[in-house]
């Protein structure tokens, strides 16, 4: 199987469509919430990402078919006084799992992070997503803690709409 990972061009209609297709597949998965993307998101995602100079998306294709996606945003570590890359979404469609696409996406995220002189790559993962956690550990990710006595960092949110 021919596997290709490319950096998406948000203004390319095929790339824009593939981003929405892949992200919707992830959203419909139990690990992505189990519900499709809202129409507003489907219609505006690529344009909104294109307006963010610190965003980039990687697309994985298997024999020319869209198979995986990584949506990333550049952030900043105040403790290191350096940029970081946050993988906001990473997903491989079920039909393409086990082919190494997730690893290939992570490798390319790391390439971009090193090109940008970032100090780290961050991501979030659900506690029950054992497959993803194993893949991330294998790639070198670990839970975040400053002092083991105080426990691991938790990701919290406050919805505003």
Query: What pLDDT, in 10s, does the model give residues 8-65?
Result: 999 999 999 999 999 999 999 999 999 999 999 999 999 999 999 999 999 999 999 9
Residue 26 lies in a domain: yes
Q: Is residue 84 in a domain?
A: yes
CATH code assigned at 90:
3.40.630.30
Q: Judge whether 65 lies within some domain.
A: yes
Q: What predicted TM-score, i.e. pTM, was given to this entire model? A: 0.94
The domain tally of the chain equals: 1
In a domain, 160, yes or no: no
The model's confidence at residue 154, banded by pLDDT at 50, 70 and 90, is confident
Q: Is residue 158 part of a domain?
A: no
Would you say residue 118 lies in a domain? yes
Residue 145 is predicted with a pLDDT of: 86
In a domain, 161, yes or no: no
User: What's the confidence (pLDDT) of residue 37?
Assistant: 98
The residue whose two tokens read 């997730």 is: 102
Element (H, E) at 86: strand 82-92
Q: Which residues contact 158 (CB under 8 A, 6 or more apart)?
A: none
Range of the domain at 109: 3-150
User: Cα(89)–Cα(29) distance, rounded to whole angstroms?
Assistant: 13
Q: What is the DSSP string of 143-161?
A: ---S-GGG-----------
């Amino acid at each position: 199987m021919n596997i290709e990972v490319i950096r998406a061009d948000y203004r390319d209609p095929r790339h824009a469509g593939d981003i929405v297709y892949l992200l919707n597949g992830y959203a419909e998965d139990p690990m992505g919430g189990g519900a499709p993307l809202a129409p507003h998101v489907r219609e505006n995602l690529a344009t909104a990402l294109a307006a963010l100079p610190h965003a980039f998306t990687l697309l994985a294709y298997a024999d020319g078919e869209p198979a995986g996606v990584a949506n990333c945003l550049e952030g900043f570590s105040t403790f290191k006084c350096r940029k970081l890359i946050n993988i906001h979404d990473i997903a491989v469609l079920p039909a393409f799992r086990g082919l190494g696409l997730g690893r290939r996406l992570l490798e390319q995220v790391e390439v971009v992070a090193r090109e940008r002189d970032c100090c780290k790559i961050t991501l979030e993962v659900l506690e029950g997503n054992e497959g993803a956690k194993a893949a991330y550990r294998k790639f070198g990710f670990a839970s975040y803690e400053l002092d083991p006595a105080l426990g691991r960092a938790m990701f919290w949110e406050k919805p505003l709409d």
